[in-house]
Amino acid sequence: MKLLFAALAAVLVCHSAGAAFVEDFQGKTLAVDPSFKTGWGTLTGSGEATVSFTQKNRHGFMTVDARKDRRNIYWALIKRAVTKDIDMAALTRPGHALRMEMKLRLSDAPRRVHFQINTNRTTDFHANLREFDIGDTDWHTIAWTNTGLDVKPGDDVFITLGMTDMGRALYTAEIAYVKASVVETPNDLGNPLPYRPALPAHFDNTLTVAEDAIIDSAYPWANLKDWTELNPDEGTLGVHVNAISGSQITLLKFDFSTFRGKKADGWGTLELTTTTAAWAPTNLEEFGYLRAVEIKNTAPDIRRDSVTWDSFFAGRPVLDVLNGQLFFDVQPALQRNGKTVIEINPAVMQRLIDGTSKGIALYGQGALNFSFASSQAPGDGARPTLRFNAK
């Protein structure tokens, strides 16, 4: 994707007691260093978002302004070295690892942020990254222990907070403190999630889509329940399908009534079956991808035979109804009857189960015309399907 993660303008108050790095924002100014060596630095990429890191009222404020961003594929980071404040000799010994902890709250939620712990030699940034799904705007303490960090004497060690693809708006992470220390026993907080991990070998539960619909910003008053695809084999009209294009969004709703009160057990998947696909191959990043976002519980109920763009958004901004941050993006399967698998992290899966999220919205990232089997497809095999475990 786009992970060269770095850090933003920051201040630091470093307390060396206990061979730990502590940023508690108690100093008169924030220590800032664009090279990240002696203070905080910021970095952005893959879009037009900007980022700043400031100190006020003994808290740090990481602010991402993506209001002028065009495609919502940006990344924004704050970063700094902790090499001089931790026990580097211990960190290079077997059985020791670096733990990063932070207390923060977000201006909008649910949103994911991520930690990175890496060195000046790190090349696999995904392996050294963990995401945290923050479900509300209250204070949260999150921590991750990087037990796989490749560190040698003489390395510089960096910690990073990242905010990526948050949406085309203004977002702030208010930070009470940041800590980093060498530990022998991991003590993670807030369920750090690996980036796109291996999926479970087996899912106990399967749900076929209960309701689906297409809405179109080009024809906001029109209901498109009869969107139909030409049968390519017979040259005749075929079955009703779902569709995604520059102006079309597909909405999916699943019936979790028998799972209320249960907990998501690991990652789930959404499976789509391609009927047709048209795209423009380019060297643009993620151009022609399929994006999945959560439908907020502020959205009206989804009825295939009546919903329109106007009725769904009811004059409200899109970000009031759809989560601005994707939970997955992927190039769809480009062959007929091909399967596109969308991974769903445990926190998103839980919100779907308990009804905090009303469903899933799918749209195109870049130039893409894509259709896939709908709830009207004959038999369950091709219809949009969720697979997950719960306990």
- The answer to whether 180 and 81 are in contact (CB under 8 A) is no
Cα gap 204→216, rounded to integer Å:
35
The pLDDT value recorded for residue 235 is 57
Using the predicted structure, report yes or no on whether residue 11 has a pLDDT greater than 60: no
**pLDDT at 57 > cutoff 60:** yes
User: Where do you find CATH 2.60.120.260 in the chain?
Assistant: 20-194
Q: What's the Cα-to-Cα distance from 289 to each of 166, 365, 389, rounded to whole Å?
A: 17, 5, 27
CA 67 → CA 61, 92, 107, 144, 341, distances in Å? 18, 43, 15, 31, 30
Instruction: Return the CATH superfamily for domain 20-194.
Output: Galactose-binding domain-like (2.60.120.260)
pLDDT over 90, % of the chain: 83
User: What is the DSSP track for 19-79?
Assistant: SEEEE-S-SSS--B-TTSSSSBEEEEESSS-EEEEEEETTEEEEEEE-TT-SSS--EEEEE
How many whole angstroms separate alpha carbon 159 and alpha carbon 85?
A: 12
Give residue 239's pLDDT.
Answer: 83
What are the C-alpha distances in Å from 42 to residues 131, 227, 323? 19, 47, 25
114 to 81, 128, 143, 334: CA distances (angstroms): 17, 10, 10, 31
Task: Please state, rounded to an integer, the average pLDDT across all residues of the chain.
Answer: 91
Rounded CA separation 379/390 (Å):
25
Mean pLDDT, to the nearest integer, of 154-158?
95
What's the pLDDT score for residue 279? 86
Convert the pLDDT of each residue in 204-259 to its tens digit: 999 999 999 999 999 999 999 999 987 766 655 678 999 999 999 999 999 999 99
| Greater model confidence, 122 or 272 | 272
Q: At the topology level of CATH, where does 205-388 sit?
A: Jelly Rolls (2.60.120)
Q: Which pLDDT belongs to residue 280?
A: 85
Contact 72, 174 (CB under 8 A): no
121, two tokens: 């030699």
- Summarize pLDDT for 348-367 with one digit per residue, the tens: 999 999 999 999 999 998 88
For residue 234, what pLDDT is reported? 61
Assess whether pLDDT exceeds 70 at residue 120: yes
CA angle, 359 then 217 then 320, to 5°: 45
With a cut of 60, say whether residue 7 has pLDDT above it: no
Inter-residue contact 151 to 67 (CB < 8 Å): no
Distance CA 218, CA 284 (A): 25
For residue 233, what pLDDT is reported?
63
Residue 159 pLDDT exceeds 80:
yes
